Amino acid sequence: MSLATTRRPAASVDRGATRGADRAARSADSLADPLADPVFAERYRAMQARDARFDGQFITGVHSTGIYCRPSCPAVAPKPSNVSFYRTAAAAHEAGLRACKRCLPDAVPGSPEWDLDDDLAARAMRLIADGVVEREGVPGLAARLGYTPRHLTRVLTAELGAGPLALARAHRAQTARALLTSTALPVADIAFASGFGSVRQFNDTVRAVYERSPLELRAAAHARGARGRTDAAAPAAAATA
């Protein structure tokens, strides 16, 4: 008698359980490598590029420092494992993070604080006027502002048309011109009072900026003053004639 061949019935596949396992595996992969999540990866790339177009679209939370930032924050990009992204600054704050003092993520769009480059240029010019470049150089100026010299130079060139050295030189020249035309101080005293390291540097800078020597600037100012006094005296003389 022939025996009928029997087959073990195939194990039934629980497709719901399989999908759940797949989701769990993907979730584990995302935890191991956050960049495996395409949304996270896109935002992280925008943050790395400091792309200001993404400001207002999401907030970057940095857990290693406990702060939250705009995507365009100039700070060094943290590791992906230290980053979370939030829809709003309020959500980041609720998560226990504090606002970055460099990029001011709590600022209102359209406010002066929101325009980081304009604010940086204004703060840089105040320090330049205070003589920081002469005392500490461009690296010292950049360090005071919390940026790299390269980034500072790029922003000032874009906002004001010149880098920090040229702006400091122009400010020294303006101070020198004011002293030349409004005081009787010797030229050498004016040179050092204006922040120049030598009289020669003073002469070369004033001539480059104003296309006149310091003495020519002073003479021209005195000539204008004399003409003004003569013009003012003429009507009075005519009235008494």
Which of 13-17, 47-51, 99-103, 162-166 has the least mean pLDDT? Answer: 13-17
> Is-contact 205 217, C-beta < 8 A?
no
What does the pLDDT read at residue 60?
96
Q: Where are the domains of the chain?
A: 30-106, 115-161, 163-231
3-state helix, strand, coil in the chain (%, to 5): 65, 5, 30
| Neighbouring residues of 176: CB distance < 8 A, sequence distance ≥ 6 | 190, 191, 194, 196, 202, 205, 206, 214
In CATH, which superfamily holds the domain spanning 30-106? DNA Methylphosphotriester Repair Domain (3.40.10.10)
Q: Which residue is associated with the tokens 């399989």?
A: 18
pTM score:
0.51
Question: Given this structure, which CATH class describes domain 163-231?
Answer: mainly alpha
* Band of residue 124 on the pLDDT scale cut at 50, 70, 90: very high
pLDDT tens track for 161-207 = 889 999 999 899 989 999 999 999 999 999 999 888 889 999 998 99
Q: Tokens representing 96?
A: 């226990």
What does the pLDDT read at residue 31?
56
β partners of residue 85: 60
Residue 3 has pLDDT above 90, yes or no: no
